[in-house]
Structure 1
């Protein structure tokens, strides 16, 4: 029996001839320029931005000459996240995080664009004249060099138009990226192996009528090649119900169901064939006349005539360009059962676009062959349909998965769709790009929203990257993390200060190690003294502020000249009482008590002088060693209800941080203030807060305020003027508890409708198989997205604020002689094992 199988080499059938001057040249003299395309991130694009992208593609395509082909190819390849477990420099928590995410599956999305110049004859050829069907290929010669020059000029214009948009960027691909090197395969190699890695030479290819197979992978092809398969209406974007509410809209591109939302290995091909539009319309006019002549014999002819007339009317009335288009989804699997499931998934995705899913087995081989980068001119003409540029562009994918920040510094968050770790820089890179002008952050989230988890997660990673972190807490949120650092550094770091009557926090506002008092130091002392003197509802006159400033300056001159005077509040009080008050009486221009009541000042401040109730606060004989300690927590829960003590203690800590900040040059510093900010959000303290925020920015630092009381935010103008307006990074957690008050929050924070929609989508569609909570991060009103705060069991046990879990960790640590790391490791293993059961 004669063997009918036809075996040939890829080399003999390969349709491409060479790459010349960055262009792919086919053996049929077609020229292709290839680009890599960068799209905006998923769930971050508004309807207006989708329309802007659609308009940019339209303008760019209009500049291409006749008989050009636009081939956009989206690759979605299943990959597993590779944890950096071999990195010896990872901390205990960082390593547990890498282990938690190791082998996490996700879709890797790559987008390529191919602009091809061919001729009228090639564009009209059908599948039976594909280069795949011909016995041998003879390279043809390019005869019209002028057309080539015009095409290359049009490509330059195309590139400029697209890159002028804010959302899309295209970059020309190099020869190495297309054909590869000895070490790494190029795009052509990857197409024949259907993987991001690998070489086509290792894979056998079967192109048959019943089956198309690449190595072990069997192909499944769904096409949109007939107007009967298309929806009645199309749009640039559609509402994604799972992340939308009755007050907000989450938008995705019209073609998103066959993009990242389709969880399998697949390539989505989008073809636009730019022909002679006038010639097309003339041919349709002729067809319409023929249909009209035959209308009396067949109702279908009458209907076809009406459709053609409508097409012509729209084309002429709106000045639209007649083109041909085709779209297909090429999916694959090595398992037949899985392939059957994939076939159903692709069909469902197309049905979500209101398209009629057509599983194509007839032209699968030729369509796969035409999908070779640079071989779009080999596309079979009968598989395309006539349309206009605008509706065809609605089938373009317009978003990609989350991208890592191109910065060595940052925090690890997770992609909200797949859970893949994302490296996110919310401090340095946005500052460098001009997205933000300061690194300060404002965090708002109700109780139970995962606020303390996120802040623990953030400050831990800042600390591990060399930052000095100072935390002002009122609820033991950071006790576990601080204890872990303290134990790991053998007491050299991770200092936990708690205010107690036996050991209160004390401070010396007049201390400097070198007797240097700059303007900012003097102003901070004045602000502290004014806060101690005046209550929040009392007005401070210009004379009072000026006289107190003069007193501080005079005292500083005294201690700088006479080092026998100990700089502290006690000696300042004595100077004010015994020297400055008498000097005021001797002045030619008298200062009345109504202008500056120094007696009232001395009476009010007496409780901080020796023998007073709070004489310990401002007369410390030793300075808290903040300089060498990189992780410090001040837990001041004991004094949060003391209206006299709480503001002063808070200011003391902030002043101590500023002193540390001045002395550490070129080192990142962070101060995070939890609910303690309410103690300093008074009219008297507004200048001090502004000063703190301004100073932090200058010294490579950032101030972070965390709150959960939305009413305090809305009702306090001080918060808006001093904190919110000086925080370019805003971080919000689940706001569903504040849904009725959200309009006020939106106005206060200056959030756009896009940002509002993103925030209200938080935790709306969480994966039940993963334990995480989502958080919205906005940078300067220019960049914003929702991320998942997903942590390992070890991190969870470190960060938890649940009393029973904290007690369990501490008890286990006590049993192990205080070794909290081993306690956390043991409990994490036990809990994971229990979960598996």
Structure 2
């Protein structure tokens, strides 16, 4: 570092020419110092010296010196200076002004009680080309002007100042520092730093929003270890076209490609069709990827009454949630208690068939007897009439009586349930959602030591009802205990704001908040931020997303909040990744058409060739 130093003509260290521009006197500074300014693109708060620190697009060093001198001696020196200058004030108006400034400064020191310090700030430039160094010096001077500062360019004292900037080297000359107070000195401190990639082995690749440099972040384990979050659950919010499905594709792909993770996804809209095909090849040795679609030709069927052991809390909660859903909305506590009692007695009785038909037949006798004996306000006729649609010979008799073949579900590391064809059905859609959540719970208990992730796209709306609130809370809290995490992805901002079920069951149990462009919801953003518990700085971060994006980069920005810690990242992907994640119908059809052309190329090779 210090080899080959040449002091002749100009300072040269090895093959680098050196220049220094400094703020070492009051005359170099603006009339008022601020602790922060605004970033020129995002308008977020940045350090006052940001224009000469992170904004300069070439290699340089910033140095700041802060000395804490003897307070009494420094005050005595200032008072002596005041007296001398004041005594000469009748000979010069400049002396009168200067004595007034010193008096005002001493009064401020006495009033605030802040310590006196001596400080110095400089920017050290270096380059192996004098022409480039001259250009860099000009750009640095322009950056200083953005701060309303007028730096001093060092010449004869350059070597001395250079050595003073070397750590543990000589002290800065007294003449290069000026006296001020601690708050003003700290205004010249650079608080920005480079984004550090995580050392975790479970990371997500994103980019630095400023420079576009790749960065690895851990959204699950490291924040838990650092106590930034208390669960791994995530809430992803973004308007239509904001890129939330694109981001979720990117996130889940890297989850699935890790060596120790199983993903279950509930999708509405076929947003993960291409990703599933890619992962089916990529994860072939581990079981591949599978998309299960429920149609009229392939109806969903489930028998929650079949148990492999005793009736545990999770299965009981699932069965009750299914019955509440198919019965009616807004059940009273009395109605819930009667149904819960009938279910408990059903499993205590050995005779009935373990199916919905068996439960229905058991209740035909049990519930009327219970209502008469206890004189309960329960409409038995209504209950049996509504549930008869799911009994033998009813419209939906297949739904809750036939076990689903789930063996391969537990082996497959990436499983997508496509619910688009049943999303408008008022009964089958919520029941299907509950069934899949139950499959995930079974998978969660069976796979020991494996990370389990369930991602619920717009399907969460099917179960966001008052009678489901208890089940959802239980579901989210139970996942944490089994090395699992739940993600909810939504664009329904009105529901996020207004639904107490979402607030109490989902938002309160998801410590990681991921928000994309919220420009469409500016008029509702105050309510959104209040519901999510965002700080003022986090609100500024979110509103800065996708503002004045650089023309030479294709990216979308995403806000990630881990408790009180938050940052905005850029999502930049390769061409192949883009076509794998896209939800644009024309682009998807192009990919699918290329795949159906009979080529023997792999799915990844096909994406690269498009």
Cα deviation for residue 475 of structure 1 reads: 0.8
SS at structure 2 position matched to 1:615? coil
Q: Which residue of 2 aligns with 1:228?
A: 27
Q: Which residue of 2 aligns with 1:272?
A: 66
Counterpart CA distance in 1 for 2:273 and 2:294 is 14
Q: Deviations over 1:702-744 (max 9, x none)?
A: 1111111212222222111211112111111111100011111
Counterpart CA distance in 2 for 1:729 and 1:390 is 34
The change in CA–CA distance for 1:517 and 1:296 in structure 2 (over 3 A counts) is same
Q: Which residue, 320, 333, 339 being the options, matches 1:548?
A: 339
Q: Deviations over 1:389-437 (max 9, x none)?
A: 3312211112212223343222122211112222222222222333322
Counterpart CA distance in 2 for 1:505 and 1:369 is 76
Q: Which residue of 2 aligns with 1:102?
A: none
1:596 aligns with 2:378: yes
Q: Deviations over 1:109-164 (max 9, x none)?
A: xxxxxxxxxxxxxxxxxxxxxxxxxxxxxxxxxxxxxxxxxxxxxxxxxxxxxxxx
Q: Which residue of 2 aligns with 1:573?
A: 360
Contact residue 116 and residue 182 of structure 2 kept, 8 A: yes
Q: Deviations over 1:688-711 (max 9, x none)?
A: 211211221222111111111212
Q: Which residue, 205, 213, 220 being the options, matches 1:427?
A: 220
SS at structure 2 position matched to 1:685? helix
Counterpart CA distance in 1 for 2:217 and 2:82 is 58
Contact residue 810 and residue 820 of structure 1 kept, 8 A: no
SS at structure 1 position matched to 2:18? strand
Q: Which residue of 2 aligns with 1:352?
A: 146
The change in CA–CA distance for 1:290 and 1:432 in structure 2 (over 3 A counts) is closer
- How high is the TM-score relative to the length of structure 1? 0.69
1:404 aligns with 2:197: yes
Q: Which residue, 755, 764, 768 being the options, matches 2:538?
A: 755
Counterpart CA distance in 2 for 1:498 and 1:286 is 87
SS at structure 2 position matched to 1:437? coil
Greater relative contact order (CA < 8 Å, ≥ 6 in sequence)? 2
- How high is the TM-score relative to the length of structure 2? 0.94
Counterpart CA distance in 2 for 1:614 and 1:818 is 44
SS at structure 1 position matched to 2:411? coil
Q: Which residue of 2 aligns with 1:539?
A: 331
Q: Which residue of 2 aligns with 1:691?
A: 474
Counterpart CA distance in 1 for 2:275 and 2:372 is 59
1:506 aligns with 2:301: yes
User: 1:349-498 maps to which residues of 2 (within 5 A)?
Assistant: 349-377=143-171, 379-465=172-258, 466-490=260-284, 492-498=287-293
Contact residue 734 and residue 775 of structure 1 kept, 8 A: yes
SS at structure 1 position matched to 2:397? coil
Counterpart CA distance in 2 for 1:708 and 1:390 is 44
Contact residue 217 and residue 334 of structure 1 kept, 8 A: yes
Q: Which residue, 4, 12, 17 being the options, matches 1:218?
A: 17
Q: Which residue, 497, 509, 515 being the options, matches 1:732?
A: 515
Q: Which residue of 2 aligns with 1:150?
A: none
User: 1:271-350 maps to which residues of 2 (within 5 A)?
Assistant: 271-350=65-144
1:794 aligns with 2:576: yes
Counterpart CA distance in 2 for 1:755 and 1:355 is 30
Cα deviation for residue 797 of structure 1 reads: 1.0
Counterpart CA distance in 1 for 2:231 and 2:497 is 23
Contact residue 291 and residue 302 of structure 1 kept, 8 A: yes
Cα deviation for residue 293 of structure 1 reads: 4.1
Counterpart CA distance in 2 for 1:418 and 1:503 is 50
The change in CA–CA distance for 1:387 and 1:695 in structure 2 (over 3 A counts) is closer
Q: Which residue, 30, 38, 55 being the options, matches 1:239?
A: 38
Q: Deviations over 1:495-520 (max 9, x none)?
A: 101121111222221233x3332122
Cα deviation for residue 283 of structure 1 reads: 3.4
Contact residue 775 and residue 787 of structure 1 kept, 8 A: yes
Cα deviation for residue 263 of structure 1 reads: 2.3
Q: Deviations over 1:452-478 (max 9, x none)?
A: 111111111111122111111111111
SS at structure 1 position matched to 2:553? coil
Contact residue 508 and residue 623 of structure 1 kept, 8 A: no
Counterpart CA distance in 2 for 1:623 and 1:517 is 20
SS at structure 1 position matched to 2:373? coil
Cα deviation for residue 799 of structure 1 reads: 0.4
Root-mean-square deviation (CA), in Å?
Answer: 2.3
Q: Deviations over 1:332-378 (max 9, x none)?
A: 1123332222112211222222110322222211110111211242x
Counterpart CA distance in 1 for 2:327 and 2:97 is 89
Instruction: Indicate the larger mover: 601-610 or 295-304.
Output: 295-304
Cα deviation for residue 388 of structure 1 reads: 2.9
Contact residue 371 and residue 378 of structure 2 kept, 8 A: no
Counterpart CA distance in 2 for 1:410 and 1:490 is 22
Q: Which residue of 2 aligns with 1:185?
A: none
Cα deviation for residue 217 of structure 1 reads: 1.4
Q: Which residue of 1 aligns with 2:492?
A: 709
Q: Deviations over 1:781-813 (max 9, x none)?
A: x21121112211111111000111111111112
Q: Deviations over 1:635-682 (max 9, x none)?
A: 111111111221111111112211211222221111111111111111
SS at structure 2 position matched to 1:243? coil
Contact residue 233 and residue 512 of structure 2 kept, 8 A: yes
SS at structure 2 position matched to 1:676? helix
Q: Which residue of 1 aligns with 2:442?
A: 659
The change in CA–CA distance for 1:721 and 1:213 in structure 2 (over 3 A counts) is same
Q: Which residue of 2 aligns with 1:206?
A: 6
The change in CA–CA distance for 1:394 and 1:657 in structure 2 (over 3 A counts) is same
Cα deviation for residue 588 of structure 1 reads: 11
Counterpart CA distance in 1 for 2:245 and 2:507 is 20
SS at structure 1 position matched to 2:241? coil
1:609 aligns with 2:391: yes
Cα deviation for residue 549 of structure 1 reads: 2.0
Counterpart CA distance in 2 for 1:550 and 1:267 is 73
1:677 aligns with 2:460: yes
Cα deviation for residue 323 of structure 1 reads: 3.6
Contact residue 507 and residue 623 of structure 1 kept, 8 A: no
The change in CA–CA distance for 1:597 and 1:330 in structure 2 (over 3 A counts) is same
The change in CA–CA distance for 1:444 and 1:317 in structure 2 (over 3 A counts) is closer
The change in CA–CA distance for 1:324 and 1:557 in structure 2 (over 3 A counts) is same
The change in CA–CA distance for 1:719 and 1:231 in structure 2 (over 3 A counts) is same
Counterpart CA distance in 2 for 1:484 and 1:290 is 81
The change in CA–CA distance for 1:539 and 1:302 in structure 2 (over 3 A counts) is same
Counterpart CA distance in 2 for 1:305 and 1:681 is 71
SS at structure 2 position matched to 1:627? helix
SS at structure 2 position matched to 1:409? coil
Counterpart CA distance in 2 for 1:219 and 1:663 is 64
Q: Which residue of 2 aligns with 1:119?
A: none
Contact residue 813 and residue 822 of structure 1 kept, 8 A: no
Q: Which residue of 1 aligns with 2:418?
A: 635
Gap runs ≥5 in structure 1: 1-191, 193-199, 245-249, 828-837
Contact residue 371 and residue 377 of structure 2 kept, 8 A: no
Cα deviation for residue 817 of structure 1 reads: 4.4
Gap runs ≥5 in structure 2: none
